[in-house]
Structure 1
Amino acid sequence: MSARVSARDVAFEVLRAVDESDAYSNLALPQAISRAQLTGPDAALATELTYGTLRQRGTWDAVIVIAAARGTDKIDPAVLDILRVGVHQILGMRVPAHAAVNEAVTLTRRVASARAAGFVNAVLRQVAASDAVSWLERAEASARSDDERLAVRFSHPVWVIRALRRALDAEGRAGELVTLLESDNAAPTVTLAALPGLAEIPETAEHTLFSPYGFRSPGGDPAGLVQGSGNAVRVQDEGSQLAALALVGARTPMPGEKWLDLCAGPGGKTALLAAEAHRASVSGTRVALEANELVPARAGLVRRSIAAVPVEIPVSEEDGRMRARRGRYDRILVDAPCTGLGALRRRPEARWRKSPADVGQLVSLQQELLSAAIDGLAPGGVVAYVTCSPHLAETRDVVRDVLADREGVEEMDARAVLREVAQAPIDLPAQQDDSGRAQLWPHRHGTDAMSISLLRRR
């Protein structure tokens, strides 16, 4: 075996980490590329092999089931990942079939057995005998419903497709489903934020459409730009930026305000809130920000994210359901743990990691966090309840159920606030339940599918 680690080896390593350790591909892949010392085309190939295979896993699994004449649950997990990468190379990329097959067989011999290598060789040679269009037609023909056909074609679990359709239908736009599914499978451009008052957007960069602090990567690895700015420039989705800005824009800051980011990890929104709080303080309106993150490793990320802001921001490591009630805050951000269905472009494995059974557990936690945040508000204070998921159970229903047991709390028009903070007109149709919730979408806004609700205590 050569000492040199190939792009294929890196992709396989990350896929196994995702399956075995619940690793996040967007965190594991850069680390694996760095360890392997891949650069340029090799790093780009490892990226496409990893993300492309994860995005198209549902489609490629349907092909593998036909070509192997057995279910994926009957295939060793490591061998299955090798097959997925091989099928992606053959049907989803311009890699010559013989090269993809030979690479897969060699890797299988190394990590499994000669017998498994023969199986991989046979399956991939059968896949290579037809083109992608033919295989897709065969895979769709085995579907038992229209939703299953969509699941095969666009590589989303059926339950996710149905949840996304319901969320779109809440705006009267269920007809946008296919466009949304296509957007989930498109590689996103890297978006960054220049913290206000601490960094400037590079002159050569393309500004984001809505966030006044966002811009697209001018090309190459953004790590150098981030490090060169002392973390005053950060990689951050535009939807995440808008969620933080919605809390800031909900009302004019008053002297002496206290803000809390309740579920702060990994710290992107915290950094933007910190910069806004610092800017307000510099202008004479003193604002104090605190952050909380239960998981110590993520709390460490929060501390690093706010290092560029020249003010002291305490970061606690407590259960948010208790932490919020320990003070009286004028603004609280509840960026609640969720299914992550709004970030499938950047974290494609999220669609395979969660199930409908997970939603109920998350909803209970979301309700408890939002209730605690309301308890922690001072009179006139505002909570921004944010999820990186459009699932109605995690968004509309959580707010509805919490408010049903509350007096003295009113929902604000988050759409109107976003229109005020955005630097360009933003398409935010009314929700059919007449709530003030704002829903961002990748296919419509080019952002993650962030849901933003603003609640004010009278």
Structure 2
Amino acid sequence: MTGPSEPQGDRSRGGGRPTGGQRGERPGRRGEGTSREGRFGADRRDRRPVRPAVDLPRHVAYQAIAAVHRDDAYANLVLPAMLRDEGLTGRDAAFATELTYGTLRHTGTLDAIITDAAGRDVQRIDPPVRDALRLGAYQLLHTRVPAHAAVSSTVDLVRTVGPGATGFANAVLREVATRDVDGWVAKLAPSAETDPIGHLALAYSHPQWIVRAFAEALGGDLGETARLLIEDNERPPVHLCARPGLADPVELADEVGGAPGAFSPYAVYLSGGAPGELAAVAEGRAHVQDEGSQLVANVLATAPLDGPDGRWLDLCAGPGGKAGLLGALAAQRGARLTAVEVAEHRARLVTQATRGLPVTVLNTDGRTVGADPKLPEGHFDRVLVDAPCTGLGSLRRRPESRWRRRPSDLPPLTRLQRELLTAALRAVRPGGLVGYVTCSPHTVETHVTVTEASRRAGFPIDFVDARPLLPAGMPGLGDGPTVQLWPQRHGTDAMFMALLRRG
């Protein structure tokens, strides 16, 4: 296991808000004050570098966790920079990465345990001390770190970030150490018989509303819901996409020490490492992309189509993974892809991701179909709508997302999804195909959005069964015509796809 390979997706710093504080300074530099106690516990007025009292992997993990909670940073953006700044590689980087992502995934359950062990609500604990306790509790309950080492190192950490709380931290962690995680769940979780959702939420560290949404999408199967939650808490695999015409997946697997994927004809599984440093990625022969994303893009590209087939459209293209695959497929078939992205920095990422491919990038709003002369109505043969969504299908890759998302996020997102899908249906020619994709299994982002948009289209829309377009032998694809992929069934993110043909 190597730390830098944990996250996948948009790796640029442009995708998130500033993570170093009010002034947007880069977090993690030696001597910079990135918490109110300073980088290594020094007063903000003293900018001299101070070495941490604990080992660097633990301290880097603490700084990353603190940045996530204090600054709304994203772990996949701040942690790699901190690892580079501190020169952590190999086992040290892997340990820091495990501590960071594991603590963030299990925050909900850890907070319940700390609340009980401390005799006060975790939200009443000073934030720097609270984050240190989370890190210590994770080591006690989820790693092989000896209890004495987890306690003493955390107390040392508290001494640098909250000096007056060392005795409190020691007492809390010693109480945490009196039970294993199963013992704490047995004590604190609601009854599985009387409150199954509440039990699963605490046992597997997900908000109750997300557990409920997963259970609904899985037809009420609580056993499979539990398996999904368990999978969400595992370290995610790293998948590469071997771009067709530019790389052979078997040869790429040999080159990078990986293995060909189970389902996507372009997938390569990596065992670890830093995929961004691979020559194939740097040269544009491959890119990092979950196998589920590869599969749904390939379904749209390979679905049978009558009539012309040279004008393709990706209506929500940032940061460029699906556009990269579609562009490579388009190059093989004499087609051209128009990739639309409303955010300027993400449009630049799409341009970088599709360099050398027959792709035109437009920095505009996809909902302007018909109003923008570059997005005429009834013009495109194949259209992809990879709609902005809650991202509930990729919680294993973005561990902080489960604690940031709220049910109140759904109404504006689903409205945007319907508007984008409606625009896509206007953009496609009669007889053409639209693929609607979300990385969320929430029914209001999937079936409800598709049903509403197709009903309001103003012209006939036919659902195409997407299942036969996926590789033979894929299990658990349901009754169709839409497809929902799952981590616990397919080893992919929870990608949803509906394939629609305009009449």
Which of 487, 492, 495 is residue 442 of structure 1 equivalent to? 487
Which of 261, 277, 299 is residue 208 of structure 1 equivalent to? 261
Q: Aligned equivalents of 1:430 and 1:117: distance in 2? A: 54
Are the equivalent residues in 2 in contact too, given 1:8–1:49 (CA < 8 A)? yes
Are the equivalent residues in 1 in contact too, given 2:331–2:358 (CA < 8 A)? no
TM-score with structure 2 length normalisation?
Answer: 0.83
C-alpha deviation, 1:252, in angstroms: 4.7
Q: Aligned equivalents of 1:256 and 1:166: distance in 2? A: 38
AA aligned to 2:198 is E
Are the equivalent residues in 1 in contact too, given 2:294–2:325 (CA < 8 A)? yes
Question: Per-residue CA shift, 1:41-81, capped at 9, x if unaligned?
Answer: 10100110011111111111110110111112212233221
Could you say if the C-alpha distance between residues 302 and 255 of structure 1 is closer, same or farther in structure 2, counting changes exceeding 3 Å? same
Question: Per-residue CA shift, 1:198-244, capped at 9, x if unaligned?
Answer: 11223353111110010111543323325565021111110010111
Mapped pair 1:321 → 2:370 = no
Aligned to 2:278, what secondary structure does the other structure show? helix
Report percent identity of matched pairs. Answer: 47
Q: Aligned equivalents of 2:93 and 2:354: distance in 1? A: 29
Equivalent runs, 1:14-53 vs 2, <5 Å: 14-53=64-103
Which one is further off, 116-125 or 332-341? 116-125
Which of 395, 406, 409 is residue 461 of structure 2 equivalent to? 409
Which one is further off, 102-111 or 44-53? 102-111
Which one is further off, 217-226 or 263-272? 217-226
C-alpha deviation, 1:304, in angstroms: 1.7
C-alpha deviation, 1:175, in angstroms: 4.0
AA aligned to 1:384 is G
Question: Per-residue CA shift, 1:333-385, capped at 9, x if unaligned?
Answer: 11111111111111122211101111122111111111111111112121111
AA aligned to 1:440 is L
C-alpha deviation, 1:24, in angstroms: 2.6
Q: State the match for 1:231 in structure 2.
A: 284
Question: Per-residue CA shift, 1:143-177, capped at 9, x if unaligned?
Answer: 982211111111111111110010010xx755411
Q: State the match for 2:323 in structure 1.
A: 270
Are the equivalent residues in 2 in contact too, given 1:11–1:49 (CA < 8 A)? yes
Which of 283, 287, 304 is residue 251 of structure 1 equivalent to? 304
Equivalent runs, 1:130-141 vs 2, <5 Å: 130-140=179-189
Mapped pair 1:357 → 2:403 = no
AA aligned to 2:467 is R
Could you say if the C-alpha distance between residues 244 and 51 of structure 1 is closer, same or farther in structure 2, counting changes exceeding 3 Å? same
Aligned to 1:338, what secondary structure does the other structure show? coil
Mapped pair 1:217 → 2:270 = yes
Q: Aligned equivalents of 2:303 and 2:228: distance in 1? A: 29
TM-score with structure 1 length normalisation?
Answer: 0.90
Are the equivalent residues in 2 in contact too, given 1:259–1:330 (CA < 8 A)? yes
Which of 388, 397, 400 is residue 337 of structure 1 equivalent to? 388
Mapped pair 1:288 → 2:339 = no
Q: Aligned equivalents of 1:76 and 1:317: distance in 2? A: 43
Structure 1: which 5+ runs fail to align?
282-286
AA aligned to 2:230 is E
Aligned to 1:314, what secondary structure does the other structure show? strand
Q: Aligned equivalents of 2:150 and 2:232: distance in 1? A: 26
Mapped pair 1:456 → 2:476 = no
Q: Aligned equivalents of 1:35 and 1:345: distance in 2? A: 25
Q: State the match for 1:284 in structure 2.
A: none
Q: Aligned equivalents of 2:199 and 2:223: distance in 1? A: 16
Which one is further off, 384-393 or 29-38? 29-38
Q: Aligned equivalents of 1:415 and 1:12: distance in 2? A: 44
Q: State the match for 1:178 in structure 2.
A: 226
Q: As a proportion of its length, which structure holds more helix?
A: 1
Are the equivalent residues in 1 in contact too, given 2:381–2:433 (CA < 8 A)? yes
Could you say if the C-alpha distance between residues 214 and 324 of structure 1 is closer, same or farther in structure 2, counting changes exceeding 3 Å? farther
Q: Aligned equivalents of 1:70 and 1:295: distance in 2? A: 43
Aligned to 1:216, what secondary structure does the other structure show? strand
C-alpha deviation, 1:84, in angstroms: 0.8
Q: Aligned equivalents of 1:174 and 1:261: distance in 2? A: 36
